[in-house]
Amino acid sequence: MKNQRNLIALAAVALLACSASTVRADTIYDWSYTGTGVSASGTLTTSGALTALTGYHYTTTMYGYDIIGITGQRNGVNITGIVPDTHFPNTTVIGSMEIDDALLPNGSGGFMLDIEGLGYYVGADYYTVSANGSWGGSPYQQLAYGGGYAEVTDSQYMHGIGLGNSLTITEAAVVPDGGMTVTLLGGALMGLAAFRRKLFF
């Protein structure tokens, strides 16, 4: 019975070690796009692991990171914050539009937005940037169908600015997590060593 308890404890510590190694810090990305009469750029911040998206218009399971922050400028005016998707990984409706604030791997080592898109504020005004495609199909199909992205405001619903494929999103940095991952992993390994000594000596 004693050995059985020790084996259970040993397995628990090993699991903690594996979990510690998968802790993911926030990640920062550079982004920019241009269109007729518009130019915008800045940074995005994502948090958490890849998550299955459950938005209204998905017909296949896709995965994305939750965008939790944005900085930058639109036409020289400061972007003041993200329009939060309070239902991530599902969709939030704002005015006449829907957003999911999801950053998706594009299948070729880069990143993209889907048709539900990202929302951000410039003062009291808000804008969404999304794949300019059809409702339905995977985000890859949506993007290919529409031939790029569009920027839309609530007053321009269905009459947004075409951005073509000018939107670029590239990973810039991983935000340090204050050593939490190292601390967890170190503690787990110390516990693992202690239980091994107890079991075999």
Q: What pLDDT, on the 0 to 100 scale, is given for residue 147? A: 60
Give yes or no: residues 70 and 100 share one domain: yes
Burial class (CB in 10 A: 0-12, 13-18, 19+), 49: exposed
Taking each helix axis from N to C end, the angle separating 180-200 and 2-21, rounded to the nearest 10 degrees, works out to 160
Task: Work out the pLDDT band at 170, boundaries 50, 70, 90.
Answer: very high
Give yes or no: residues 70 and 143 share one domain: yes
For 104, residues 6+ apart whose C-beta sits below 8 A from its C-beta are 53, 62, 63, 64, 65, 111, 112, 113, 114, 139
Give yes or no: residues 135 and 68 share one domain: yes
Q: For the residues 29-48, what does the mean pLDDT come to?
A: 95
Q: What is the residue-averaged pLDDT of the chain?
A: 75
Give yes or no: residues 16 and 58 share one domain: no
Higher pLDDT among residues 97 and 72, named by residue: 72
Q: For the residues 175-187, what does the mean pLDDT come to?
A: 51
In the chain, the number of structural domains is: 2
Whole domain around residue 184: which residue ranges? 2-21+178-200
* pTM as predicted: 0.72
Which of 52-61, 88-97, 104-113 has the least mean pLDDT?
A: 52-61
Contact by Cβ (8 Å): 52, 64: no
**Phi, psi (5° rounding) for residue 168?**
-120, 140
Give yes or no: residues 154 and 188 share one domain: no
For residue 142, pLDDT beyond 50: no
